[in-house]
Structures are given as C-alpha cells and as structure tokens.
C-alpha cells in the first residue's frame, strides 16, 4: 500500500514547475504511507505523485505506472489480489511485474466507457487510483468497493481538482475537501461519478431462504486468506485472541506450513508466521492471543503498553487518522503503538480481522435485532460505513508507520458468499452466540475457549482500564463551562461527551473548517451500532456508548 496525490485540470498558463514543487510538498505530508520511493509524472493537464511502500515486485513496480507508448500514467494505492488471472487473460504489453498494472491493461482493453462499466468491477482487491490518458486528455479516479483504501478530493482556489490518499495533503489547499465514495469511478469526460459496485444481496429479499454450508463458508474464507498472502516481503498477522483475528491467523498458519513442507517459496520468502498483539498489563486480549498462538504454532509477540503511553500518543493518532470518532480513536491508539513495534521488527504487511462483525452481525447489539430483515439491513449499513470506521482505523493506524494491513474478511469474493446468506441463519440470541455460523464452520481449527469466546471490541479487549482512563482524563481536561458551550463551538456533529469534545478539539487543530469535520460521520451508537439500530431496544438510547460493555444482559462484564 502507498499514497497517491493528483492535481488535474491544469490550464495552459499554469506554472508547471511551481505546481510540481507544490504537489511534491503536499505529497510529502503522507510519505509515511510510502517510505520506499517517490515517483512524479507531469503532463500538460495533470501532476501525479506516488509514495511507494514496496510489497509486490519491489524491484520494478515503481509508480506512476506508464504504458509502453507513454500515453497512460497510473498512480495506485492498493493491492489487486486477482492480478495473475487478469494478466494471464490479457494481451496488454506489460512493463512491470506490479499487480496494479492490470488496471492499465483493463482500461486499454475495454476503453474508457467499458472500463467504467465492466473493467473496474473485475478487480478483486483494495485500491484507490488516478489514471491519466494523455491521448484523450481524460482522467479517471476510483476507489475500491468497501473503501479499505482511503481517498479524499477537493478543489484548490483556482478550481483544479485534487485527490490524495489522506486529508492532510489537501488541508489548507481545498476548502471543499470531502471523502471520495467507495465503489465509484469519477470520469473527467462527463464530470460525473459512476457507481460500479452493485450487488443483489443488498436487498434481503434476494437472500431469503439461502444457506451456505459450513464447509463452503470455510473454504471461501480460506481462499480469501490465501489470495491476500500475495507478498514479496516479510509479513505477519494481528492476533488479538478474538474470533476474527484468530481465524485469519489459523488460515495463514495453515498456508505457511504448507509452503514450508512443500519448500514452496513462490508466494512469500518468509513462511514462518509471526503474530502480534498488544494490551495493558493483564488485558483479556493478551492472554487469549497467547492461547491462540500456542495452538497455532506462530512466533508470537505480545506487547504491553501503559495507559500514559497510550494517552501521550492520542494527539498524533488523531492527526494520522483524520477523525474525531470516539470508538475509532479508542481502538486506533493501541493499534498505532503496535504498528510501531511491528515496523521495528522489519515486517511490512499484516493480515487483520476487520469486516467480520459487519458481515456476520458480530457486535453484541445484534442480539437485539427484531427480525432477519432488520439484521440484514444493519449489516449492509455497517458495510457501507466501514470506510469511515474500522477500515479507516486499520489502514491509517498501521500505515502511520509504513505497515500495510490487509483484511481477508472483506475480500470481494468472500463477501458475495457470506452476504448471500439469509440473515436468519446469522441471528444471535435465544441461546445462540454471535457469529455462530462462522464459529461452527471452523470447528476444530482453534481451541474452544477462543473459537467460542464472546465478542470483545478491540478497545475493550486491550484492557478495560484503557477506556475508563480516557473518560476520566477527558473529565479533567474539559471544563464544565467549556462543555456547556460545545454547540456554539462545534455546531456540526456537536460532541455529546467530554471525551468526544477532547478529541474534537485536537482534530480541529489539524483539520479546521466544516468541510473537514463533515468527513467524519456522527450520530449516537451503542457497541458500534448504526444510529438506526438504537430503535431495537428502548434501553439503548439511555446507554448509548460505543463500548461493547454497554449492552446489558449480553456482555459478561457489562457497564453498570
């Protein structure tokens, strides 16, 4: 994963040399995402800058990627997991071994219109890209269907369209900065956004009555993990000891063992699997992660951080994550600290468990879903919002230190399998634990105390003292008088607690203005629910807190 910066709609009278310098300076603000190399492309109508984190084809995959005739220039942040199949089926004259070059190939083979309608949807991966066609002076901007890779856009004071992987590159440049929507392509020829990601399973009626056998579900996920082991550099897994990260680790360990036994180093030259966890002293996650690691045979690294080390990192976490969302910051801070330790060990890519709770209804509030249809609709809402929450957290917290996080549960082929299942088979409650269909599919793959461990949100699992301490600190740092005037200072998404106010105040220092604030969604939540799900239980409105411990009668150690 890397970072991109693009400036488009340059005019004949523009000073290209000055704009090139400006683009480089702005791109440098996100160079932590791509510390390995920088590339620049300048044409009469465009400037593209790429900061590279070399994961696949480190030797020849530098960007922007050019076509053999020089007409196409492509800057990509991402990974295309099915690039080998696309490459094998293509007649394009490839110039590198980069997985991302298949984007240029699909554009050439389909043409611009066909690429928008059919080509982009052939990509199974995580990506945000800007593609320039010098022959037609046309450009396309696109983002992956779930929004695993971040992307922002806006206009400078001269009306030039600018895009960047992180908002910090556009802060102070674009007064109208906004999040580029996942699953869309922007076409400069029409000036319109096109939704290319459309799925029948979004409607519960299309899934009604459909079940997925456990063996089929397990095979689909194992294949997703296998696809995402595509790397030419050292890799590992994040292992919190919860169900999702443990399943990712179990599948990765299986394939690592197969490579060792078969002496197959074609997919990774570092086959012995390393796992990583973090928590406060005595945290539930550290203990569970060790159990899972011992069972799977990973080389495990469990790191302990102190509350004050976490608190000291919060301002920098907010700057990197570009959000003031409470639950995101709570969870991102230990992840940010863990990423630094992982980077110090020479690891450049990790697999993580994000997305499972959204697909299978794993958050504890799903126990209160009134019907299969309501359950399904909430999973769709959660998937649609992932780019603002867990995907943003995992991507930016890890990339702050130049470590790429991949998310196999959000593999597009696996999503089609899992979301095609009738939610009636996923529902929890009445004696069924959350995500029981997923747990049953992997029976025997993990110790029972891990496979059937209750959902523990990461910000809780690192140690209950973490959230409790953050709340107490905010009480000291935000006066009653200051909080009483919160609506006057922050009329948009007014902070509802002192903790939220504390984070918002830091965010504003780096990203002032309503446009920046509007990139962060608002609304009440319980245990990471969407605002709509608060209607499922009258008690939710009175106990709205993003912690999983807020769900009384479900969490074993619920808040009083």
Residues recognised as catalytic: 2
Give the rounded distance of the alpha carbon of 59 from its chain centre.
27
Sequence-separated (6 or more) residues with CB below 8 Å from residue 50: 2, 3, 4, 5, 34, 38, 39, 40, 62, 63, 64, 75, 76
Residue pair 1/79 in contact (Cβ under 8 Å)? The answer is: yes
Q: Which of 116, 87, 119 is nearest to 101 (CA)?
A: 87
- Alpha carbon distance 240, 277 (integer Å): 5
- Alpha carbon distance 506, 315 (integer Å): 6
Counting every residue, how long is the chain?
A: 560
- Alpha carbon distance 74, 45 (integer Å): 14
DSSP secondary structure, 101-144, as one string: GHHHHHHHHHHHHHIIIIIGGG--EEEEEEEEETTTTEEEEEE-
Sequence-separated (6 or more) residues with CB below 8 Å from residue 372: 204, 422, 423, 424, 427
Strand stretches in 178-319, DSSP E? 178-179, 184-187, 192-195, 235-238, 274-279, 299-304
- Alpha carbon distance 108, 124 (integer Å): 18
DSSP conformation class of 259? H
Question: What strands, in cross-sheet order, belong to the sheet with 349-351?
Answer: 299-304, 274-279, 235-238, 349-351, 404-406
Q: Where are the alpha helices (DSSP H) in 144-204?
A: none
- Alpha carbon distance 107, 114 (integer Å): 8
| Residue 179 vs residues 163, 416, 417: alpha-carbon distances, Å | 10, 25, 28
Sequence-separated (6 or more) residues with CB below 8 Å from residue 83: 99, 100, 101, 102, 125
- Alpha carbon distance 27, 164 (integer Å): 8
- Alpha carbon distance 124, 532 (integer Å): 30
The pair of structure tokens assigned to 491 is 């009329």
| Residue 502 vs residues 316, 326, 369, 495, 496: alpha-carbon distances, Å | 14, 10, 33, 9, 11
Mark residue 44 as left, alpha or beta (left: phi above 0; alpha: psi -120 to 50; beta: remaining): alpha
Residue pair 248/352 in contact (Cβ under 8 Å)? The answer is: yes
Sequence-separated (6 or more) residues with CB below 8 Å from residue 365: 526, 527, 528, 529, 533, 536, 537, 540, 551, 554
């Amino acid at each position: 994963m890397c970072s991109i910066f693009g400036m488009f709609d340059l005019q004949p009278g523009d000073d290209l040399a000055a704009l090139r310098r400006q683009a480089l300076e702005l791109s440098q603000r996100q160079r932590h995402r791509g510390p390995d190399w920088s590339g620049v492309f300048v044409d009469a109508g465009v400037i593209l800058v790429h900061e590279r984190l070399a994961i696949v084809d480190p030797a020849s995959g530098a960007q922007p990627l050019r076509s053999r005739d020089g007409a196409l220039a492509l800057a990509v942040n991402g990974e295309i997991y099915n690039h080998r199949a696309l490459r094998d089926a293509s007649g394009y004259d490839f110039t590198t071994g980069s997985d991302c070059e298949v984007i240029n190939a699909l554009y050439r083979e389909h043409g611009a219109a066909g690429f928008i309608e059919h080509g982009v949807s052939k990509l199974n991966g995580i990506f945000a890209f800007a593609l320039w066609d010098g022959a037609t002076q046309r450009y396309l901007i696109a983002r992956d269907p779930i929004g695993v890779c971040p992307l922002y856009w806006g206009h400078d004071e001269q009306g030039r369209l600018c895009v960047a992987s992180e908002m910090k590159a556009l802060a102070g440049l674009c007064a109208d900065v906004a999040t580029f929507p996942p699953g869309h392509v922007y076409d400069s020829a029409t000036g319109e956004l096109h939704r290319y990601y459309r799925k029948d399973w979004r409607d519960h009626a299309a899934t009604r009555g459909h079940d997925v056998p456990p063996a089929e579900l397990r095979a689909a996920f194992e294949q997703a993990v296998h696809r995402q082991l595509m790397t030419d550099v050292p890799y590992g897994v994040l292992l919190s000891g919860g169900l999702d990260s443990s399943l990712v680790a179990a599948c990765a360990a299986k394939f690592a063992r197969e490579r060792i036994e078969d002496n197959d180093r074609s997919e990774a030259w570092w086959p012995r699997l390393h796992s990583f966890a973090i928590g406060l002293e005595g945290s539930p996650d550290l203990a569970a992660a060790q159990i899972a690691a011992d069972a799977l045979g990973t080389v495990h690294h469990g790191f302990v951080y102190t509350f004050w080390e976490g608190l000291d990192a919060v301002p920098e976490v907010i700057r990197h994550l570009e959000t003031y969302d409470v639950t995101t910051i709570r969870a991102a801070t230990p992840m940010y600290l863990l990423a630094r330790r992982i980077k110090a060990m020479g690891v450049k890519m990790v697999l993580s468990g994000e997305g499972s709770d959204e697909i299978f209804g794993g958050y504890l509030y799903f126990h209160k879903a009134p019907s299969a249809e309501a359950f399904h609709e909430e999973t769709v809402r959660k998937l649609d919002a992932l780019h603002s929450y867990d995907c943003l957290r995992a991507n930016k917290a890890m990339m702050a230190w130049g470590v790429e996080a991949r998310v196999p549960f959000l593999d597009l082929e696996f999503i089609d399998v899992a979301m095609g299942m009738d939610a009636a088979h996923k529902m929890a409650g009445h004696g069924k634990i959350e995500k029981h269909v997923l747990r049953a599919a992997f029976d025997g793959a993990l110790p029972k105390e891990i496979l059937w461990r209750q959902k523990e949100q990461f910000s809780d699992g690192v140690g209950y003292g973490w959230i409790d301490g953050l709340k107490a600190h905010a009480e000291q740092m935000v006066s009653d008088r200051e909080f009483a005037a919160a609506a006057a200072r922050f009329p948009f998404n007014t902070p509802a607690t002192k903790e939220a106010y504390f984070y918002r105040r830091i965010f504003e220092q780096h990203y002032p203005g309503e446009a920046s604030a509007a990139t962060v969604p608002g609304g009440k939540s319980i245990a990471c629910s969407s605002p709509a799900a608060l209607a499922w239980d009258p008690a939710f409105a009175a106990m709205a807190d993003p912690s999983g411990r807020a769900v009384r009668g479900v969490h074993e150690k619920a808040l009083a």
